[in-house]
Structure 1
Amino acid sequence: MRILIIHNHYKQVGGEDTVFFAEAALLEKHGHEVEKFAFSNNNVVSALDKVQAALGVVYNPKSARLIRDKMQEFKPDVVHVHNFFPLVSPAVFSVCQQLGVPVVMTLHNYRLVCPSALLFYKGKVQTENINQVFPVKAILNKVYRESAFQTASVVLATGVHKLLGTWRNKIDRFIVLTPGAAALFQNSSLRPKPGQLVVKPNFTEDLGTGASQRNNYFLFVGRLTPEKGVETLLKAHQLKPFPLKIIGDGPLADKVAAYAAKHAEVEYLGFQKRDRVVQELKQAKALIFPSEWHETFGMTIVEAFSTATPAIAAEIGGAAHLVQERYNGLLYAPGQAAMLAEKVQQLQQDEALANTLAIGARASYEQHYTPQANYDLLINIYQEVISAKKAKAHL
């Protein structure tokens, strides 16, 4: 099978980039011909670049030409888009339709139904935009990069293509990462067709089972931002102190560092490379995942499961589906520091429970999140859209 994978990189490397490279490598490993075609926001530097990018979000003719040329050269059986915003633009879907090539898109975030992409702004979860074709209030609230102009460009791009039927008629399958995300998109202004949404989680390589006897500390890994629940984590620690290591960087780094300096049980490690993160996961009693927005997945949780490390997570978004209470982790109400502190204490005091959760965590990984399990799901999606496109062409 010949697969063209298209992605628009952000300036800061994120989870979407990781999945883009990981899925491409997975497909290549199974003998498929894979072509990666990437655009990068690092090329948007000057004021003119930014204006041109904003103006091209509805349809970028330059990107359309580049994609058409690449498709005519490579002749893919299927195109998989991970991110089209802003440089690729929805032009990619028109080109695919014109050339008769089926197209799959992974919904890594909520941008198609809310310009914030996170459903989180002004310090809390916001879902008021998901049923509106043109959420004007979002522009007034400057929900994207605190800019009315940039928010308006997202609203225009997504709204125009809702009216044109692009999302319903030019994309053969939307891949969503959890059943919760599927339900949200199904009941939104996106209005997907029956069967257009399919659930396929992300995966991770087998990181290896961690130590059977764990060190008595808990671990947070992630960006230090309000929506990640970092402040709730610190409040929980203040209520009932426990050994804690924090890995990550971001706007709240100074606050975390200052807290760690005053509390001997807290160790702030800053940003760490993957090898160190894995090393810490293999020794930790549990991963704490306090995220307070509707994460489309929860990659760190799956990585923890691979090492037989359970997770204590806020019951919202991807974590609510990845973590099963008292099987592979513990759940608490988002933002509730006292509940989080109680869950930590529960795991500290019950060694039998900790062992049970560790076994469940590893079992969850082996059943759902291995490369092979993911490949089987992904290739089945490709085969379905290719067969459907061929059948339609013969009508």
Structure 2
Amino acid sequence: MKILLVHNKYLHQGGEDTVFEAEYELLVSKGHDVEKVVFDNKELGGSLDKISLLWKVFFNLKSLNTIDRNIASFKPEIIHVHNFFPIASPSIFYSANKHKVPILMTLHNYRLICPSALMLRNGKVCELCIKDKFPFRSILFACYRNSRIQSFLLSSMLYAHKLLGTWESKIDRYITLTHFAKEKFLYSSLKIDSSKFVIKPNFTNNDKYEYVKEEYCLFVGRLSEEKGIGVLLESFSISKRQLIVIGDGPLKEMVERYVNEYTNITYLGFQNKDVILEIMLKAKALVFPSICLETFGMTIIEAFSCGTPIICSSIGAPQELVIDGLNGFKFQVGDANSLNDKVELLFKDSVLYNDMCKNARLEYEKKYTAEKNYEQLIAIYRDVIND
């Protein structure tokens, strides 16, 4: 199969970039003819370039021409988009339609129904704009980059393409990562028919797993408000259980302050995936304390692959991934004492814990291997092509 993968990379590499590359490598390994078109936010120059880009988010002719040329030379059977914002723009969908090439998009975040993409405001879940055709409240609250001007332009782009029918008619299929995420998009102002949504989780490759663990918990991720860093640090300052924190982000200084004050908290900074998996392999549990409505949780399935149970907050898609008492525990979102209680329960019930380790690995083998993911992905491609 000839497959064209399209992605707008972020300025700082994130999970979507990783998934894009992983799916590319998976498809190539299975013998498919795959080409990539990557738009990179590093192309953004000075302030004048950024101002001109704000208008290009509506319809970037340069991006349209780029996809036109790739379709003409490569002649793909299908196009799979992972992110179109901001440089690629919705123009890429019009290119695919013009050339009658089926196109689908993975919804890694909530951008189409929430200009901030996180559905989070002032540290709390915010769903004000989900059912608004024009998300005017995102402008009032300056939800995108804390700028009313940029929020206005982004909100206007989303609204304009609702009026044009772009989201309804120019994209043949949407992949959501969980049932939870699908429901948010399905019952939004997008008014997209349910038949256009399919569910396919992300995957990870890992053959190493262990059920004999060491006495520390682990956090891996961006050090930012929405990831629940505050409640994580508060909880482990209470419990005195060992915690290792891996990652980088705007709350790095907060983490370093806790490390200086509490000897049970260790900060390792940014680490590559191989190092992370070695540490995850021995961890008693992975803590996933997010306070926002995550669409998925890559570190959760990575921990599952290591045979490591999860302690996650009871919010968003992680609730769907973690089965309470089977492969992990759920705690009350934003509640440090609730998290502490679950950590203590995990450490004290050895029989239940051993079962959790085995169940975590079984969950990975059942749902999140590369082979399982390939079967789902190629079935989706065939269905879209034959529709």
Q: Does 1:258 align with 2:257?
A: yes
Query: Deviations along 1:163-182, whole A, 9 cap, x unmatched?
Result: 11111111111000000000
Q: Deviations over 1:85-132 (max 9, x none)?
A: 111110111111111110010001001001000001222111101111
Residue 254 (structure 1) shift: 0.9
1:330 corresponds in structure 2 to: 329
SS in 2 for 1:219: strand
Structure 1 residue 236, shift from structure 2 partner: 1.2
Partners of 2:378 and 2:328 in 1: CA distance: 30
Question: Structure 2 stretches of 5 or more lacking a match?
Answer: none
Partner of 1:203: 203
Structure 2 distance, partners of 1:147, 1:225, is: 19
In structure 2, the partner of 1:26 is 26
The answer to whether structure 1 residue 305 and structure 2 residue 304 are counterparts is yes
Are 2:338 and 1:339 aligned?
A: yes
AA at the equivalent of 1:54: L
For the residues of structure 1 that align with 2:86 and 2:247, how far apart are their CA atoms? Answer: 27
Instruction: Render the CA deviation track for 1:358-380: whole Å, top value 9, x for unaligned.
Output: 01100000000000100011001
**What pairs with 1:125-136 in structure 2 (closer than 5 Å)?**
125-136=125-136
Equivalent pair of 2:237/2:262 in contact (CA under 8 Å): no
**What is the aligned partner in structure 1 of residue 284 from structure 2?**
285
Q: Equivalents in 1 of 2:185, 2:137: separation in Å?
A: 20
SS of match in other structure, 1:152: helix
Q: What count of residue pairs does the alignment treat as equivalent?
A: 387
Q: Would the aligned equivalents of 1:54 and 1:150 in 2 still touch at CA under 8 Å?
A: yes
Q: Which moved more, 1:262-271 or 1:362-371?
A: 262-271
- Which residue does the alignment assign to 1:169? 169
CA contact (8 A) 1:202 1:299 kept: yes
In the other structure, the counterpart of 2:76 is 76
Instruction: Please tell me the residue identity of whatever aligns with 1:108.
Output: H
Q: What is the rounded CA distance, in whole Å, between the counterparts of 2:240 and 2:119 in structure 1?
A: 31
Q: For 2:222 and 2:139, locate their aligned partners in 1 and report how far apart those are by CA, in whole Å.
A: 26
Quick check: 2:300–2:310 contact (8 Å CA) kept in 1?
A: yes
**Structure 1 residue 47 displacement after superposition:** 1.4
Report the CA distance between 1:21 and its aligned residue. 0.5
- Taking the aligned partners of 1:55 and 1:118, their CA distance within structure 2 comes to 23
Opposite residue 77 of structure 1, the aligned amino acid is E
- Most deviating of 171-180 and 199-208: 199-208
Q: Residue 154 of structure 1 corresponds to which residue in structure 2?
A: 154
Please report how far the alpha carbon of residue 342 of structure 1 lies from its aligned counterpart in structure 2 after TM superposition: 0.3
Residues 12-64 of structure 1: CA distance to partner in whole angstroms, max 9, x if unpaired? 00011001100011011111000000011101111121112110111111110
Q: Is the 8 A contact 2:203 2:369 kept in 1?
A: yes
Partners of 1:286 and 1:123 lie apart in 2 by 25
Offset from partner CA, 1:127-179 (integer Å, 9 cap, x none): 10111111111112111111112111211111111111111111111000000
Matches within 5 A, 1:97-246: 97-210=97-210, 212-246=211-245
Q: 5+ unaligned residues in a row in structure 1: which ranges?
A: 389-395
Q: Is the 8 A contact 1:28 1:34 kept in 2?
A: yes
**In 1, are the aligned partners of 2:128 and 2:137 still within 8 Å (CA)?**
no
In 1, distance between residues paired with 2:111 and 2:298?
19
| Superposed CA offset, 1:313-363 (max 9, x none) | 001112111101111111112101111000000011111111111011000
CA distance in 1, matches of 2:377, 2:45: 36
Q: Secondary structure at the match of 2:195?
A: coil
| 8 Å Cα contact 1:207-1:303 kept in structure 2 | no
Residue type of the alignment partner of 1:280: I
Amino acid at match of 2:109: N
1:91 corresponds to which letter in structure 2?
A: S
CA distance in 2, matches of 1:367, 1:120: 32
Cα contact 1:77–1:101 (8 A) shared by 2: yes
Contact 1:207 1:278 in 2 (8 A): no
Give the whole-Å Cα distance in 2 for the aligned partners of 1:339 and 1:159. Answer: 40
**Structure 2 CA distance for aligned equivalents of residues 61 and 75 of structure 1:** 20
Q: TM-score scaled to structure 1, two decimals?
A: 0.97
Corresponding letter in the other structure for 1:142: A
Asked if the contact 2:167–2:192 (Cα under 8 Å) also holds between the matched residues in 1, the reply is yes
Q: In structure 2, the residue corresponding to 1:376 is in which secondary structure?
A: helix
After TM superposition, give the deviation of residue 207 of structure 1 in Å: 4.5
Please report the RMSD computed on the Cα atoms of aligned residues, expressed in angstroms.
0.9
Residue-by-residue CA offset, 1:216-251 (whole Å, 9 max, x unaligned): 110011111111011001121233221111111111
- What secondary structure does 1:280 align onto? helix
Which whole-Å CA distance do the structure 2 matches of 1:303 and 1:160 have between them? Answer: 39
* Partner Cα distance (2:359, 2:286) in 1: 14
